[in-house]
A and B are shown apart, each in its own frame.
Chain A
């Protein structure tokens, strides 16, 4: 299978701030790559470079086999972009917005109108088609923005945090629409802060932090890397984290991961899980520490991120169910 998106050694600086520090990625045709990372990791910069909005300082990239820096106008013909901030015109109606994009793709008036009608229908916006976007909810704007990226059914789609700021229902709606595109054969690159989202939608995940790729694999591979199951101790008092970390370090096969904000200390399981759990409880009790929570849980992508960067994803939902 050919690679639809290839980037090699992308570097981008803003003054003294290094946004991208030699990022590599490839997305095989017909698959979904998730770029996962906290705010400021370089996700949006990557998308802006690959969609011709920004030139990299160094590095090479091709989209659909076309050099992005040398032939940007040709790249624009085969991509769709839906950004972090819904870029729809709020004084136009939903159908006027889509028609305008169709016209700017040189579809011709009739075809642009026809395509707008189709998309509004499929994105559940038919009833609001003739209302100005000003009256739309956040979820409706996002759907319209995504529809705008799909006017020409582009083979390669970039979505920059497609569900940030949406309520759970809005998010599920977006996931539906996105999955449908993938089934239709599109190649997708999406950025997200939500681990659950990457887990749901992506074939491959690249975890990026400070402009570098720090891990790469399928969601399962990444979770396996931190161990299938992990012992978590959540403490009531922050002062107890050091002692708890020492105890888990003695019991576990690796240095424990400490989330200072959540007072959560965790490590991979060594030996039978119940025995490790009992031993941990015994030693914590002996040290006079009463944890707020202690449990063995299946590793999540959040653990992956925590372990790789030593920090939690900002704004990410923590999964608490086993």
Chain B
């Protein structure tokens, strides 16, 4: 410790309290950068989050590819939007784990004692997880192209599909944020963040056409937000099946509108809920 006394005198005069969207974005980006540095420092994280989607694409394409027939489309092309959506949804679970970890280690306390935007920790976390999802999606797209998946509709709709996909992943992160802020440990966040995603993604048209399900289950799968999203992407990319394989009724007719509606609904409910959870979150 050097002996020189501190030069800066304590002063009560401070600039005004930063509030509003500008502060939330600035502070959110500072937090997001901190999360991204962590990904850089633990490369294993990135390696495994890359290997998994590659493995999924290859397994589903080669294992189920021969067994499952969907009318009007090649199964590998049918499959890819489903795997994209599933991977992005599971990727959101990282948000729950990251927040629970920060809570447990007292880092959230440090953040909460700073005069930063109340939303920043959540904005930062969901943003860095979004960027992680974008990276994984790029890797998955390349793998998909290798096994024969193509976008048949042109660049505009192709991009629109990815935008909807990322919006959905972002919305899912906010659900995961509420979970991460509600549990008391990283271990619980790990299972609680993932477990509900299995029925959600499998009870849908992600891997099989919903008309192959038992009759009573078909409406559930047709109205599942995941189904709307997957069918919407298939539509945008020209990977959609025809006839009964699309599902039934309204969801089969308006998948894109329904998908956007679900995304908006999730954000409207879970953004304020997560922020109020964050305010109350007490590490111990």
Q: How far is the CA of A201 from the CA of B110 in the complex (A)?
A: 24
| B2 x A78 contact (CB < 8 A) | no
Q: How far is the CA of A77 from the CA of B4 in the complex (A)?
A: 25
Q: How far is the CA of A149 from the CA of B180 in the complex (A)?
A: 26
Residue A54 CB within 8 A of the other chain? yes
Binary B-proximity of A72-86 (CB < 8 A = 1, otherwise 0): 011011110101011
Residue A185 CB within 8 A of the other chain? yes
Partner of B37, one of A96, A154, A156: A96
Residue of A nearest to B121 (CB): A104
Stretch of B5-13, B188-196, B258-266 contacting A (4+ beta carbons < 8 Å): B5-13
Residues of A in contact with B, size category: 35 or more
Most buried by B among A104, A154, A156: A104
Q: How far is the CA of A76 from the CA of B17 in the complex (A)?
A: 10
Binary A-proximity of B1-39 (CB < 8 A = 1, otherwise 0): 110111011111011011100010011001100100110
Distance to closest chain A CB from B10 (angstroms) = 3
Binary A-proximity of B98-115 (CB < 8 A = 1, otherwise 0): 000000011101111111
Q: How far is the CA of A100 from the CA of B19 in the complex (A)?
A: 18
Given contacts A53-B113, A186-B10, contact A85 B17 (CB under 8 A): no
B residues near A173, Cβ cutoff 8 Å: 1
Q: How far is the CA of A96 from the CA of B2 in the complex (A)?
A: 22
Residue A123 CB within 8 A of the other chain? yes
Q: How many residues of B contact A (CB 8 A)?
A: 38
Partner of A89, one of B9, B34, B112, B116: B34
A residues near B282, Cβ cutoff 8 Å: 48, 53-54
Binary B-proximity of A24-63 (CB < 8 A = 1, otherwise 0): 0000000000000000000000001001111000000000
| A89 x B107 contact (CB < 8 A) | yes
| A122 x B2 contact (CB < 8 A) | yes
B residues near A105, Cβ cutoff 8 Å: 114-116
Residue of B nearest to A155 (CB): B10
Residue A113 CB within 8 A of the other chain? no
| B10 x A81 contact (CB < 8 A) | no
Partner of B115, one of A53, A64, A76: A76
CB-CB contacts below 8 Å: B98-148 with A: 105-107, 109-116, 120
Residue B155 CB within 8 A of the other chain? no
| A91 x B42 contact (CB < 8 A) | yes
A residues near B11, Cβ cutoff 8 Å: 153, 155
Residue A277 CB within 8 A of the other chain? no
Chain A at the B interface: SS class: loop
A residues near B27, Cβ cutoff 8 Å: 104
Most buried by A among B10, B14, B23, B106: B10
Residue of A nearest to B105 (CB): A87
| A73 x B17 contact (CB < 8 A) | yes
| B114 x A183 contact (CB < 8 A) | no
Residue A121 CB within 8 A of the other chain? yes
Q: How far is the CA of A154 from the CA of B11 in the complex (A)?
A: 7
Residue of A nearest to B116 (CB): A104
Given contacts A91-B41, A132-B41, A185-B10, contact A101 B114 (CB under 8 A): yes
| B113 x A51 contact (CB < 8 A) | yes
Residue A177 CB within 8 A of the other chain? yes
Q: How far is the CA of A292 from the CA of B18 in the complex (A)?
A: 64
Partner of B34, one of A86, A92, A121, A155: A92
Q: How far is the CA of A240 from the CA of B114 in the complex (A)?
A: 55
| B12 x A180 contact (CB < 8 A) | no
B residues near A73, Cβ cutoff 8 Å: 17, 19, 115
| A53 x B109 contact (CB < 8 A) | yes
Residue of A nearest to B39 (CB): A91
Binary B-proximity of A177-210 (CB < 8 A = 1, otherwise 0): 1001101111000000000000000000000000
Given contacts A85-B105, A100-B34, contact A76 B113 (CB under 8 A): yes
A residues near B30, Cβ cutoff 8 Å: 100, 103-104
B residues near A148, Cβ cutoff 8 Å: 110
Partner of A83, one of B4, B8, B12, B106: B106
Q: How far is the CA of A303 from the CA of B10 in the complex (A)?
A: 37
Given contacts A123-B1, A186-B10, contact A52 B112 (CB under 8 A): yes
Q: How far is the CA of A33 from the CA of B71 in the complex (A)?
A: 77
Most buried by A among B9, B30, B282: B30
Distance to closest chain A CB from B118 (angstroms) = 8
A residues near B1, Cβ cutoff 8 Å: 122-124, 173, 176-177, 180
Q: How far is the CA of A132 from the CA of B42 in the complex (A)?
A: 12
| B107 x A106 contact (CB < 8 A) | no
Residue of B nearest to A65 (CB): B12
Distance to closest chain A CB from B153 (angstroms) = 42
| A153 x B8 contact (CB < 8 A) | yes
Binary A-proximity of B242-261 (CB < 8 A = 1, otherwise 0): 00000000000000000000
The contact sample of 30 A-B pairs, CB cut-off 8 A, is A48-B282, A52-B112, A53-B282, A54-B282, A64-B12, A73-B19, A74-B115, A76-B114, A87-B105, A87-B109, A88-B110, A91-B37, A91-B38, A91-B41, A92-B37, A100-B34, A101-B114, A104-B114, A104-B115, A104-B120, A106-B15, A106-B18, A106-B23, A106-B26, A121-B2, A122-B4, A148-B110, A153-B8, A176-B1, A184-B9
Beyond A79-B113, A106-B15, 7 additional contacts (C-beta under 8 Å) are A77-B115, A83-B110, A86-B106, A96-B37, A101-B110, A105-B116, A180-B6
A→B interface (CB under 8 Å) = 48, 51-54, 64, 73-74, 76-79, 81, 83, 85-89, 91-92, 96, 100-101, 103-106, 121-124, 132, 148, 152-156, 173, 176-177, 180-181, 183-186
